[in-house]
Amino acid sequence: MKLKRGVLAGIILAAVFWGLLAAGAFSFYFKVPESLWESMIPLPEDGEKIAVLIEPGLNGRQAAQAFGTQGALDGSVSRLVYWMTRFGLDRKIRAGYYQVIRSDPWRLARQLRGMRPALLRVTVLPGSDIFSLREVLSGDENPKLKDGSDALSAAIMDDGNYPEKMRAKLPGDEASRIALLKPETYLVVERTPRELVRAASSAWWDQWGDSADILAGGKVQETAIIASMVEREVLHDSECRTVAGVIHNRLRKKMPLQIDATVVYAWKLKGRKLTRVLNKDLEVESSYNTYRISGLPPRPICVPGAAAWNAAFKPGTNDYLYYVAGKDGYHYFSKTYAEHLRNVKKARER
């Protein structure tokens, strides 16, 4: 009986000991500042860095899942969600690429704290046309599709890549739609045609959506065509509205526009690159040859810049019908053909 009592007492003492030890550990864990824990257990410094892509629109749990599926997490997604929530990362995680060392959930969340995701640059230049726009992306970034087209064409023709309010204004062909991409440098999550079209079309709508909303039917495309010609014709932004006014004046009088830039584009469509337009080049058979057709060409000839778009939406009021560029890129404007001939001579002499 005494032995049994001794065993029981030992059990009770052991239970008390381990209880006190657990309570002490519990108290130590929760009362010791988190900064001390982090100094005692530093972040990993060695190991292969893994690039994890967090796409736009992901919530905290989806982002944690992305770290798991892309090989950066050594542990459960639920624990990573816990630590991300504790650090406030579940509400702050942003789209982009994160370079992290594969770790357990706590260390991974600590790596993410204060980390800024990397974004990629993609630039659309003013004056880009349906050919040169493809030079923005490499072959791997713009793969060929089974139907013979490429990913950029597919992205341009996908209405879902444009702001919802913009879709009703979209023309039905690729050459016209590229005019609705605002020339600028964009920071994107991925250098893909889809990201390029989404970023550039959203920027275009943000700047000119109100002006486009006023226009009915095909007027947006007509404005885009004029803006594209202004972009190619004008070197100095200060002349954009004047040249746009000349185009409108000639259209009202049903005069051929006689714009050299459209002839250059016509030849480019035929595989020939012009650096200078000669009289013999004006005979090209093309719906873009504004020396031979009346009115506007069928589609824009390039991506207009901001000054060209502003001029097309609000052309200058003037009586000019002709212009010729001098050697400095500035134009001589005239109201009569006789005056224009004098300006041509003047431009060649200076």
The answer on 78 and 136 residing in a single domain is no
The answer on 147 and 94 residing in a single domain is no
The answer on 240 and 138 residing in a single domain is no
The span from the CA of 67 to the CA of 230, in Å, is: 48
Closest to 72 in 3D by CA, of 51, 52, 102, 104: 102
Closest to 340 in 3D by CA, of 324, 326, 328: 324
Q: Of how many residues is the chain composed? A: 350
Query: pLDDT tens digit string along 290-343?
Result: 999 999 999 999 999 999 999 999 999 999 999 999 989 999 999 999 999 999
The answer on 322 and 230 residing in a single domain is yes
Task: Determine the distance from the C-alpha atom of residue 224 to the mean position of all C-alpha atoms in its chain, rounded to a whole number.
Answer: 19
The answer on 147 and 108 residing in a single domain is no
The answer on 188 and 158 residing in a single domain is yes
DSSP 8-state code for residue 73: B
The answer on 229 and 343 residing in a single domain is yes
* Distance set, CA 289 to CA 77, 175, 273, 326 (Å): 62, 16, 15, 23
Final residue belonging to a domain, choices 191, 214, 237: 214
The answer on 318 and 276 residing in a single domain is yes
Q: Looking at residues 28-45, what average pLDDT do you find?
A: 52
Q: Is the pLDDT of residue 122 over 60?
A: yes
The span from the CA of 252 to the CA of 157, in Å, is: 33
Q: Does residue 41 belong to any structural domain of this protein? A: no
Is residue 161 helix, strand or coil?
Answer: helix
The answer on 227 and 148 residing in a single domain is no
Q: What is the pLDDT of residue 38?
A: 52
> 13: phi > 0 → left, psi -120 to 50 → alpha, else beta; which?
alpha
Show the domain range for 54: 49-112
The span from the CA of 101 to the CA of 89, in Å, is: 18
R_g of the chain computed on alpha carbons: 33
**Start-end of H helices in 189-328:** 193-214, 219-233, 240-252, 260-269, 306-313
Q: What is the pLDDT of residue 22?
A: 55
Task: Provide the domain count of the chain.
Answer: 3
The span from the CA of 333 to the CA of 325, in Å, is: 9
Final residue belonging to a domain, choices 93, 112, 131: 112
Q: How confident is the model at residue 13 (pLDDT cuts 50, 70, 90)?
A: low
Please give the mean pLDDT across all residues of the chain: 86
The answer on 287 and 182 residing in a single domain is no
Q: Would the pTM of this model clear 0.85, i.e. be above it?
A: no
